[in-house]
Amino acid sequence: MELEMEKVMRFMGRYSLGRDNGMGSLHFLRIKIPGGVITSEYFKGIAELSREYGRGYAEITDRQDIQLHWIEGDDALDIFERLEKMGFTTDMCGQAFPGAGHGDVRNIVGCPLSGVNKDELIDGYPVIKELTRFFTGNEDFLDLPKKFKFSISGCMYNCTRAEINDMAFIPVVHDGEIGFTVLAGGGAGKTLPGPTLAKPLRVFLSQEEVFDVAVATVEIFRDHGNRESKAKARFKYLLDQIGVNGLRNMIEKKLGRKLEDYHGDVSREWIEHTGVGEQKDERYYVCVPLIGGKLSSDIMEWYAGLAEEYGTGDLRLTTFQNLIIVNVEDKEGLLKELGKEGVVLKGIIPKWTAVGCASDFCGKTKEYHSKEIVRDIVEHLETSYPNIFVNQDFKIGVSGCPNNCGYSVIASVGLEGRLIRVNGSVKQGYDIYLRGKLENGSIGRRVAEGVPAENVVNVLNKLLEQYKIKLKNESEIRFVDFLEKLSDTEIKKLVEVT
Amino acid sequence: MQEPKLERKSEGEYTLDVRGQTCPFPQILSQLALEKLREGSILEVITDNPPSARDVPIALRKKGYEVEVKKSNGQWHIVVKK
């Protein structure tokens, strides 16, 4: 018997719903916004979807997607149809299958200021668009061993967390030519071989070569990645088995030519494009901090309106879950409008850089979820240390589970949720990680296990109090350097819960 | 991509194999199939996707269908009476 499939089939392979298990939501919709580039018209379009189908709530993810919740399966085809008209697709969410397989190429992240950034060596967005077009709905790439994450950025700063992507293209100058070099095999999650920072492939590529190398790599992953076990199915596991030289050889074999060597530095400062900054065309960008990326449909429409009034109607989403209005001429006027609604673009840097996952919807954590902790830490820093972190940053990453969507293991201070038993009842706890970093990178070290959620801010405060004392003698020392210098005994004493 | 098929097992009994499909397609396809069947028919939906195994019965029960779920060999058999 034939089903009337035309309306359904055309969305398969390009759209899906993910599994929620909290806040009364069964499904999320993760809309890919390649490179975080979106117009006010489509931002409003997604706000309307949020209002009609997602209780007026939306969040920006740390891969520059927009995520809605409370999506009903019955409404999905209408939503997909409207997204299709806007030119957007979604993650395929195949990770819920019990085994390996069903992996897709996830939203490709890029510098949110692509094309307007005065600190840009090269514009990475055209190749993001080209690769997105190629992989979207492409049946040859819908059953990868697991998901595959790309970062492609031409920014001189590391605003996309290149090192925790399966493959990252970062800009370099080589023999006077601007192009990209490649990092491979990164991933922050618990799957084998555990949290891993991507390693340099030591090649130099012109912008025209990026597409072919990217496709060849995903083909290698598809054909050689481990499909026996979900825990071994990510690209980082394959890379661990074959090594970077092995990968390079396989890519070169596929391309039928040798790639040019590059042995230069690949470390860049990990930053967010905070506050107000000048673009290369002398206009301005304005980056609005959103705690945990949380938005409402009304607020989305308001920002879209401001982008139209003060800019060119162009918005950008960042990997730190923030929103940027670009191409602003009257920056003072825009700041005044934002200020009227209490949006202040001054203050501590961590309010832009702290990241929290959607653990409240995921169902793996109990009360006092990641985004709430991020909010409370930022408020605490603003209240108690308002002058210290205006000129220096430290990264706060909060994840509800070891999948590490909130990048706990690469943050200066990372929290990873685990359920704990206190007086016979199950409560939310967090493991504390310190000293993660991407500049000359290292994975954070777990210094405490199962700290009750309500004590987390106090524990962090003990570290901050000690830092404040240290500052009296060493006025130049940054908090991240202070953390580096602490001995194991000092750390143990400071993170001990009394 | 393989097109899911609705197959007749015997008089009034049908199978819909949606293995490999993620949400919301197993739910949507189940509903499409049920629309085609006569009152009293039995539809067995086979899925290997855990979220669908959770969601399809919820959605169909909400619409008033009688639903039973059996799990065997890593897949779910959702038996629906129209």
CATH number, domain with residue B45: 3.30.110.40
At which residue do the structure tokens 């919807």 appear?
A361
pLDDT of residue A2: 57
Which residues touch A246 (CB under 8 Å, ≥6 apart)? Answer: none
Q: How confident is the model at residue A3 (pLDDT cuts 50, 70, 90)?
A: low
Are B1 and A12 inside 8 Å of each other by CB?
Answer: yes
Tens digit of each residue's pLDDT (9 = 90 or more) over A195-230: 999 999 999 999 999 999 999 999 999 999 999 999
Q: Are B75 and B19 in contact (CB under 8 A)?
A: yes
pTM of the predicted structure, to 2 decimals: 0.96
Alpha carbon of B14: minimum distance to chain A alpha carbons (Å): 9
Task: Domain of residue B47: give its range.
Answer: 20-81
Measure the CA–CA gap between A153 and A359, rounded to whole angstroms.
28
Q: Are A439 and A432 in contact (CB under 8 A)?
A: no
Lookup: tokens for A256: 């039928």
Measure the CA–CA gap between A68 and A15, rounded to whole angstroms.
14
A contacts of B31 (beta carbons < 8 Å): 74
Q: Which chain B residue is nearest to residue A76, measuring alpha carbons?
A: B24
Which of B5, B14, B59 shows the shortest C-beta gap to A73?
A: B59
How far, in Å, are A37, A79, A417, B17 from residue A23 at the CA level?
29, 21, 17, 31
Alpha carbon of A408: minimum distance to chain B alpha carbons (Å): 27
Measure the CA–CA gap between A343 and A398, rounded to whole angstroms.
23
Which of B3, B14, B51 shows the shortest C-beta gap to A19?
A: B51
Q: How many domains does chain B have?
A: 1
Which domains can be identified in chain A, with CATH numbers? Answer: 20-261 (3.30.413.10), 275-343 (3.30.70.3340), 351-495 (3.30.413.10)
- Position B11 in a domain: no
B63 has catalytic annotation: no
Q: In chain A, what is the greatest distance between 2 CA atoms, to the nearest angstrom?
A: 80
Burial A220-233 (b: 16+ CB within 10 A, else e): bbbebbbbeebebb
Lookup: tokens for A32: 């890919």
Q: How confident is the model at residue A34 (pLDDT cuts 50, 70, 90)?
A: very high
Phi, psi torsion values for A55, nearest 5 degrees: 55, 25
- Position B4 in a domain: no
Closest by CA to A18, choosing from A7, A31, A9, A27, is A27
Tens digit of each residue's pLDDT (9 = 90 or more) over A397-432: 999 998 889 999 999 999 999 999 999 999 999 999
Residues of B in CB contact (< 8 Å) with A are 1, 3-8, 14, 20-25, 27-29, 31-33, 36, 48-51, 54-55, 58-59, 74
- Position B43 in a domain: yes
Tens digit of each residue's pLDDT (9 = 90 or more) over A140-149: 999 999 999 9
pLDDT at A95 over 70: yes
- Position B5 in a domain: no
Q: Give the count of alpha carbons within 13 A of A101, CB side only.
A: 11
Are A16 and B22 inside 8 Å of each other by CB?
Answer: yes
Tens digit of each residue's pLDDT (9 = 90 or more) over A172-187: 999 999 999 999 999 9
Are B25 and A5 inside 8 Å of each other by CB?
Answer: no
Q: Is the peptide bond before B24 cis (omega within 30 degrees of 0)?
A: yes
Are B32 and A73 inside 8 Å of each other by CB?
Answer: no
- Position B70 in a domain: yes
Phi, psi torsion values for A448, nearest 5 degrees: -155, 145
Q: Is the peptide bond before A402 cis (omega within 30 degrees of 0)?
A: no
pLDDT cut 90: percent of chain A above it? 91
Q: Give the count of alpha carbons within 13 A of A406, CB side only.
A: 36
- Position B1 in a domain: no
3-state secondary structure of B70: strand
Are B74 and A98 inside 8 Å of each other by CB?
Answer: yes
A contacts of B7 (beta carbons < 8 Å): 1
pLDDT cut 70: percent of chain A above it? 99
**DSSP-assigned beta bridge partners for residue A261:** A203
Tens digit of each residue's pLDDT (9 = 90 or more) over A216-225: 999 999 999 9
Lookup: tokens for B37: 């069947």
**DSSP-assigned beta bridge partners for residue B14:** B8, B43
Measure the CA–CA gap between A55 and A466, rounded to whole angstroms.
43
Lookup: tokens for B69: 């779920």
Instruction: Please report the ipTM that was assigned to this predicted complex.
Output: 0.94
pLDDT of residue A1: 55
Residues of A in CB contact (< 8 Å) with B are 1-5, 8-9, 12-13, 16-19, 26-27, 73-74, 76-77, 92-94, 96-98, 102, 139, 142
Closest by CA to B2, choosing from B12, B17, B13, is B17
